[in-house]
Amino acid sequence: MSAPHFSATVEHFATRLDADHMALAALWLEQLDRVIDVDKRDVFPSHLLLDHIPELIQEVATYLRAPEDQEIAANTAVMTKAVELGWLRFDQRASVHQLQREYQILSELLDAFFLREATALGAAGDATAAVLAFSRAQRAVRVLQHQTVDAFISRYTAKIEMQTTRLRNFSRLVSHEIRQPLGVLQVLTRMLPSTDDQPEAARLIGTLERNVARLGDVATTLERLAQLGPGAENMPNRQDVDLASVARDVCRQLDDMAAARGVVIRVDEDLPHVVADAGRIELVLMNLIANAVKYGDPHKPQRFVHISADHTVPYPCIRICDNGIGIPPSKRDTIFEQFVRVHAHRDDELGAQGMGLGLSIVRECMESMEGSVAVESVEGTGTTFVLCWPGTGLR
């Protein structure tokens, strides 16, 4: 085929793609509506139903006419539009999988377009030119997809870093604020008169001393967590941890609290071992078991907390189960967020108080150990928290 014939075929595809860009975008949106959970009129926030995709298709048409050594990545306008699409889909809480599916739909529409136009040209077209034009269009779509996904991931990464920094700063603030009243309590406990001849007073003072010491440990742990940099978060102080031993120690610290509320705590002996950060594990168990005791159902004659192994999975996993007041279904998705207190309206009845940080700390600690925390709850019946460490085998 002659060069003019070759050029005419390429120009035909570019012209037709340019002319059909709105129709193709409408088809894309129609198919997209079947696979996304956002109303299609919310996909593009302009007064026009379509915005980004028609421009991308037009720029692909322009790219077909460009010299062979020119790449679409050199087109600042279209690459910016691809970035904006990634930001938009992030704001709409899409996923990378959804983005890839959306570009796959666009790619499939271009497949059908080129097949239709090549068939219409028939012998009048240059087959080689048709193949090269199709290949170039698909290459352009791949570059645009890569740009959109990169923009999406950069927004996601920035959000995670912001949340991590916020939590670290808050941990630093909390640990600092704890230190001053803690120091006063430590001095006062040392100044208390001898109670050798008063068993009950001695027991209460012993409880006070243990809890003051525990607060000191918590403050130290919070300080250590706050000082971890981004690179260190994935390298906690890992050691072989006997979950049963740690759970029993936590329960001993909560004995008085449990006794005052008539809650019996049971720890099974066959809990697994994990290779993880012992400080984080203790903080997790302290928060979960204390919550289970605090939110025991005062109307039930027998109240319990039971820590057991979950043998249904091939990695360390434990369950912290109680028969307390439970969590309403409407609140279950938010309990791991900061400052969320599901039962704040029952504080006086239950004798409970707090800032709503315990479960957010639990989640942060588990994620830092590459573990997970899940919740199962029936309001009025009880709650079970499931802690798993998939990265460590059973020992």
Q: Give the lowest-confidence range in 51-60, 121-130, 229-238.
A: 229-238
The answer to whether residue 260 scores a pLDDT higher than 80 is yes
CATH fit for domain 236-395, picks 3.30.565.10, 1.20.140.10, 3.40.50.300, 3.40.190.10: 3.30.565.10
Sign of the CA dihedral with 42 first, then 44, 47, and 50 last: negative
Report which of residues 305 and 26 the model is more confident about: 305
∠ CA 315-317-319, nearest 5°, is 165
Confidence band (pLDDT; 50, 70, 90) for 357?
Answer: confident
Is the separation of the CB atoms in 12 and 121 below 8 Å? yes
CA separation for the pair 309, 357 (Å, rounded): 26
Q: Mean per-residue pLDDT for 331-359?
A: 68
> What share of the chain has pLDDT > 70, as a percent?
77
CA separation for the pair 58, 338 (Å, rounded): 46
Is the separation of the CB atoms in 309 and 272 below 8 Å? yes
Report which of residues 25 and 271 the model is more confident about: 271
**In which residue ranges of the chain is CATH 3.30.565.10 found?**
236-395
**pLDDT (0 to 100) of residue 237:** 60
CA separation for the pair 155, 259 (Å, rounded): 49
The answer to whether residue 270 scores a pLDDT higher than 90 is yes
**pLDDT (0 to 100) of residue 36:** 61
Q: Please state the pTM of the whole predicted model.
A: 0.47
Is the separation of the CB atoms in 350 and 367 below 8 Å? no
The answer to whether residue 233 scores a pLDDT higher than 80 is no
* Residue among 141, 389, 147 at smallest CA distance from 278: 389
CA separation for the pair 49, 90 (Å, rounded): 19
CA separation for the pair 320, 114 (Å, rounded): 59
Q: Give the lowest-confidence range in 92-101, 128-137, 240-249, 298-307.
A: 92-101
Is the separation of the CB atoms in 155 and 161 below 8 Å? no
Sign of the CA dihedral with 255 first, then 259, 261, and 262 last: positive
What is residue 145's three-state secondary structure? Answer: helix
Confidence band (pLDDT; 50, 70, 90) for 321?
Answer: very high
**Amino acid letter, residue 178:** I
Sign of the CA dihedral with 339 first, then 345, 347, and 350 last: negative
pLDDT tens readout for residues 367-392: 888 899 999 999 999 999 999 999 76
Q: Average pLDDT of the chain? A: 79
**pLDDT (0 to 100) of residue 319:** 97
Taking each helix axis from N to C end, the angle separating 21-32 and 52-65, rounded to the nearest 10 degrees, works out to: 130
* DSSP letter assigned to residue 193: P
The answer to whether residue 38 scores a pLDDT higher than 60 is no
Q: CA distances (Å), 264 to each of 84, 289, 323, 343, in order?
A: 56, 11, 11, 22
Report which of residues 175 and 324 the model is more confident about: 324
Confidence band (pLDDT; 50, 70, 90) for 340?
Answer: low
Q: List Cβ<8 Å contacts ≥24 apart for 178-187.
A: 178/215, 178/218, 178/219, 178/222, 179/219, 182/212, 182/215, 182/216, 182/219, 185/212, 185/215, 186/212, 186/216
**pLDDT (0 to 100) of residue 364:** 85
CA separation for the pair 393, 316 (Å, rounded): 7
CA-only gyration radius of the chain, Å: 31
* DSSP letter assigned to residue 153: H
Report which of residues 210 and 24 the model is more confident about: 24
CATH fit for domain 3-160, picks 2.60.40, 3.30.1360, 1.10.490, 1.10.10: 1.10.490
The answer to whether residue 3 scores a pLDDT higher than 60 is no
**pLDDT (0 to 100) of residue 132:** 86
**pLDDT (0 to 100) of residue 232:** 42
Report which of residues 176 and 389 the model is more confident about: 389
The answer to whether residue 195 scores a pLDDT higher than 90 is no
The answer to whether residue 322 scores a pLDDT higher than 90 is yes
**pLDDT (0 to 100) of residue 372:** 93
Hey, what's the torsion of the CAs at 304, 376, 317, 248, to 10 degrees? -20
Confidence band (pLDDT; 50, 70, 90) for 2?
Answer: very low
* Residue among 331, 319, 333 at smallest CA distance from 288: 319
The answer to whether residue 169 scores a pLDDT higher than 80 is no
The answer to whether residue 98 scores a pLDDT higher than 80 is no
**In which residue ranges of the chain is CATH 1.10.490 found?**
3-160
**pLDDT (0 to 100) of residue 141:** 86
Is the separation of the CB atoms in 387 and 315 below 8 Å? no
